[in-house]
Amino acid sequence: MIILDGKKLKEERLKALKNKIKDLKLSLAVIQIGNDEASSVYINQKKKACENLNVEFSHIKLEENITETKLLNIIKDLNNSDVTGILLQLPIPNHLNKMTLQNAIDYKKDVDGLNVINVNRLINNEKGLLPCTAKGIINMLKAYNIELAGKHVVIVGRSNLVGRPVSNLFLNENATVTICHSKTKNLNEITKLADILIAATGKKHLITAEMIKQGAIIVDVGINKIDGTLYGDVDYENVKEKTSYITPVPGGIGPMTICCLMENIYEAYLLQNNN
Amino acid sequence: MIILDGKKLKEERLKALKNKIKDLKLSLAVIQIGNDEASSVYINQKKKACENLNVEFSHIKLEENITETKLLNIIKDLNNSDVTGILLQLPIPNHLNKMTLQNAIDYKKDVDGLNVINVNRLINNEKGLLPCTAKGIINMLKAYNIELAGKHVVIVGRSNLVGRPVSNLFLNENATVTICHSKTKNLNEITKLADILIAATGKKHLITAEMIKQGAIIVDVGINKIDGTLYGDVDYENVKEKTSYITPVPGGIGPMTICCLMENIYEAYLLQNNN
């Protein structure tokens, strides 16, 4: 069993990236609306990563009750500024339309890969900015030379942030893809078919040893904080010996997500400069 | 075994639609580039359907070597005209960018459901214009009161026109979805898991009786014309007795696709008039 070490891989990749961007003036603007505690933690991680790479970081913190019109104007100004990447931290309050706002971000600055133009490019297997977690998963598997073509990938979770984009990425890599979710019957039988199992449900230890086949590759996207401790969606301790490769939580996909955000800022720069 | 009769269902639905739109002035513009023979046949089917419903039909036939700029201007004029629906007949010549052209069509007139805004709405499970074949499949199953939630749907084929949109539609209906394609290993074993099997490969009789489970529901999207005869992707004669429901070719999904196009023209009208 080999541990897929996201922390180490992130360090290696960011070192290479730092070298590539050392003469460039890159920047990231993160828009936060309200005071969601988890969001503040994530934004702080992004800030640190930017600082380590000499990417200018601006944190645009807005009132919970901001109007959509005001927000659209702020995004418009950022589009017209020389900022390289723009990120709208999720979740946002209910009175705001997520799709409208994400589509207002210039697709060449959309480092979260959630603008319609980037979503459509992914579906059409054309080059564009990709959602960070989905891209992080693929980059991780490729870094360990894991063959994806022809593999049966079972994804548990159908969110727009992870499940659906990752399914398209794996299809583009010629994998066979199954998407399961809370309404799936016989989940245990379907997960057992997986050569590669992606758990992205937000349910602590949903995936147990009985649910996987011997030698499967397990990718755990879950970040479930309970009483101050972080748990994945996979019962790591009991599952790991049955696997060929497995990501830990923390230290697996989490670091890869941050790593891909930084790589996306550089890709956004290249897009804006027609490379 | 029950035959899913698309021809009959189309007649019923279009009769109801005709009544709804009898006082409206609806219209469809179909853009054809070049002289693809199959395209001409499909366009003729659309024309006939329009005539039957008193929907004004215009066929905009353009030279094979038309420039993208000229074409974009034609689309712009149609967007600004009072035409209800605009359809770019596929395939188009290689010198033209399909995505650019589809995205140039006003999403409220995009009766093929291929504009990014409609694609994104589908992924986000929000109301929009849906691709006709994908919608036709779901409408057919629902018309026969076939429960979709929790069912395992196996889709063979990953195209942007059928496979991918239909996978999102089934996910939105709470089905578990597997997408297979030409690079899938052990296709026979995966198709046998299907409660509902969607064949959209363009390969005559790829799906044989050994590949399905007893009582499965089979939807055949294939239209393979060989020496003047039409064949589906499913070996209908040998498969049918093992199924609970099956679509014939012709007379199955083909008519449902045309039917959905007509329904989309009405939906486009409603969208344009804020209903």
For chain B, what is the radius of gyration of the CA atoms? 19
**Three-class SS state of A169:** helix
Q: What is the pLDDT of residue A104?
A: 97
CA distance B114 to chain A (A): 10
Residues A8-61 pLDDT 10s: 999 999 999 999 999 999 999 999 999 999 899 999 999 999 999 999 999 999
A89 is known as an active-site residue: yes
**Tens of pLDDT along A121-169?**
999 999 999 999 999 999 999 999 999 999 999 999 999 899 999 999 9
Q: What is the pLDDT of residues B179-216, one digit of tens each?
A: 999 999 999 999 999 999 999 999 999 999 999 999 99
- pLDDT tens-place string over residues A186-229: 999 999 999 999 999 999 999 999 999 999 999 999 999 999 99
With a cut of 90, say whether residue B61 has pLDDT above it.
yes
Question: What is the Cα gyration radius of chain A?
Answer: 19
Contact A159, A201 (CB under 8 A): no
Would you state the pLDDT for residue B274? 84
Structural domain boundaries in chain B: 25-114, 132-254
- Using a 10 angstrom Cβ sphere, with 0-12 exposed, 13-18 middle and 19 or more buried, the burial of residue A101 is buried
Residue-wise pLDDT for A80-115, tens only, equals 999 999 999 999 999 999 999 999 999 999 999 999
Whether the ω angle into residue A165 lies within 30 degrees of 0, i.e. cis, is no
Q: What is the mean pLDDT of residues B33-45?
A: 94
DSSP H or E run through A49: helix A37-52
Contacts of A149 in chain B (CB under 8 A): 183
Q: Shortest CB distance from A184 goes to which of B176, B180, B193?
A: B176
Nearest Cα residue in chain B from A119: B120
- Out of B5, B10, B32, B89, pick the active-site residue: B89
H or E stretch covering B152: strand B152-156
Intra-chain end-to-end CA distance of chain B, in Å: 40
CA atoms within 13 A of residue A196's CA, in its CB half-sphere = 25
For A210-232, b where at least 16 C-beta lie within 10 A, e where not — what string?
ebbeeebbbbbbbbbeeeeeebb
> Which residues in chain B have Cβ-Cβ distances shorter than 8 Å to A178?
176-179
Spatial distance between the Cα atoms of B212 and A29, rounded to a whole number of angstroms:
52
Contact B160 A126 (CB under 8 A): no
d(CA B71, CA B32): 11
- Which of A116, A123, A184 is nearest residue B164 as measured by Cβ atoms? A123
CA B142 and chain centroid, separation: 16
DSSP state, residue B34? S
Per the CB < 8 Å rule, is B181 touching A185?
A: no
Is there a catalytic annotation at residue A46?
yes
Residue among B103, B102, B85 at smallest CA distance from B27: B85
Query: What letters, b where the CB count within 10 A reaches 16 and e where it falls short, cover B206-237?
Result: bbeeebbeeebbbbbbbbbeeeeeebbbbbbe
The answer to whether the CB atoms of A179 and B176 lie below 8 A apart is yes
Whether the CB-CB separation of B91 and B36 falls below 8 Å is answered with yes
For A132-254, which CATH class?
alpha beta
Q: Using CA atoms in the order B224, B151, B190, A160, what is the torsion angle rounded to 10 degrees?
A: 90
Q: Which of residues 130-189 of A touch B (CB under 8 A)?
A: 149-150, 152, 158, 160, 164, 167-168, 171, 174-181, 183-185
ipTM of the complex: 0.94
> What rounded mean pLDDT belongs to chain B?
97
The shortest CB-CB distance from A176 to any of B160, B167, B179 is to B179
Q: Searching chain B, which residue's CA lies closest to the CA of residue A187?
A: B176
Residue B76 to residues B32, B53, B55, B102, B111, Cα–Cα distance (Å): 16, 26, 21, 12, 16
- Whether B25-114 shares its CATH topology with B132-254 is answered yes
Could you tell me which chain A residue has the CA closest to the CA of B115?
A120
Q: Which tokens in the block code for residue A109?
A: 């600055």
Confidence of residue A274 (pLDDT cuts 50, 70, 90): confident
Cβ–Cβ below 8 Å for A158 and B171 = yes
Q: Mark which residues 84-113 of B lie under 8 Å from A by CB.
A: 99, 103
Cβ contacts (< 8 Å) between B180 and chain A: which residues? 176
Is residue B26 a contact partner of residue B265, using CB atoms and an 8 Å limit?
yes
Give the three-state DSSP class for B243.
Answer: strand
Task: Among A179, A187, A196, A198, pick the best mutation site for testing chain B contact (most B Cβ within 10 A).
Answer: A179
**Tens-place pLDDT, residues B209-253:** 999 999 999 999 999 999 999 999 999 999 999 999 999 999 999
Nearest by CB: B119 against A120, A178, A183: A120
Residue of B117, B120, B178 with shortest CB distance to A176: B178
Contacts of A168 in chain B (CB under 8 A): 164
β partners of residue A199: A156, A220
Whether pLDDT at A275 is above 90: no
Q: Name the closest residue on chain B to residue A125, using Cα atoms.
A: B160
The distance between the two most distant Cα atoms of chain A, rounded to a whole number of Å, is 54
DSSP classification of residue B265 = H
Residue A58, both tokens? 């601006």
CA distance A235 to B233: 42
Which phi and psi (to 5°) does residue A200 adopt? -140, 65
Scanning chain B, the segments in alpha helix (DSSP H) are: 6-20, 37-52, 68-80, 98-104, 116-123, 132-143, 163-172, 187-191, 236-239, 253-272
Cα(A62)–Cα(A265) distance, integer angstroms: 23
B155 phi/psi in degrees, rounded to 5 = -110, 125
Q: What is the mean pLDDT of residues B166-186?
A: 97
Distance CA A260, CA A269 (A): 14
Nearest to B123 among A121, A150, A160 (CB): A160
Structural tokens at position A223: 């970040």
In this structure, what token pair is assigned to residue A184?
């799936």
- Cα A186 to Cα A120: distance, rounded to the nearest angstrom: 32
Chain B residues with CB under 8 Å of A161 CB are none
The per-residue pLDDT for A201 is 96
CATH code at A25-114: 3.40.50.10860
C-alpha closest to that of B183 among A153, A109, A255, A225:
A153
Nearest residue in chain B measured CA to CA from A185: B150
Pick the closest to residue A10 from A122, A156, A115, A140 (CA basis): A140
Preferred mutation among A120, A186, A198, A213 to probe B, highest tally of B CBs within 10 A: A120
Cβ pair B183:A176 closer than 8 A: yes
Sign of CA dihedral A221, A226, A228, A229: negative
Q: Do A174 and B181 make contact, defined as CB atoms within 8 angstroms?
A: yes
Closest alpha carbon within chain A to B172: A158
